[in-house]
């Protein structure tokens, strides 16, 4: 399995821009925490599913079109 590739360009105008890794909590983690707060212990997701959902996200600000882009890179197989 290859590592996710960090995006290099603005998806809107194609300007090369630096992206930074952007920490985010995957949605399924938030849901699991909410369930635990209610006293429910949700079963863990299969590893394959959580990999697909998690991805890696990056954020980059484009000086060309002044758009801030959030990009989620998924692992290529
Ligand atoms: Zn742009």
Domain presence at residue 8 = no
Number of domains in the chain: 1
Q: Is residue 35 part of a domain?
A: yes
pTM: 0.52
The answer to the question of residue 58 being in a domain is yes
Task: Give the Å distance between the CA of 25 and the centre of ligand 1.
Answer: 26
> What are the start-end ranges of the E strands in 3-47?
20-21
The answer as to whether 14 is a domain residue is no
Domain membership flag for residue 68 = yes
Question: Torsion over CA of 12, 15, 5 and 27, rounded to 10 degrees?
Answer: -40
Task: State in Å: Cα 29 to ligand 1 middle.
Answer: 31
Q: Inform me whether the pLDDT recorded for 25 exceeds 90.
A: no
pLDDT in tens, 62-73: 999 999 998 877
Sequence-separated (6 or more) residues with CB below 8 Å from residue 25: none
Range of the domain at 36: 20-73
Q: What is the mean pLDDT of residues 36-59?
A: 81
């Amino acid at each position: 399995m290859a590592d996710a590739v960090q995006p290099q360009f603005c998806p809107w105008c194609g300007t090369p821009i630096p992206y930074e890794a952007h920490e985010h909590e995957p949605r399924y983690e938030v849901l699991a925490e909410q369930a635990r707060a209610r006293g429910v212990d949700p079963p863990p997701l299969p590893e394959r599913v959580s990999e697909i959902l998690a991805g890696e996200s990056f954020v980059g600000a484009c000086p060309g079109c002044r758009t801030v882009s959030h990009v989620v890179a998924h692992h290529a197989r």
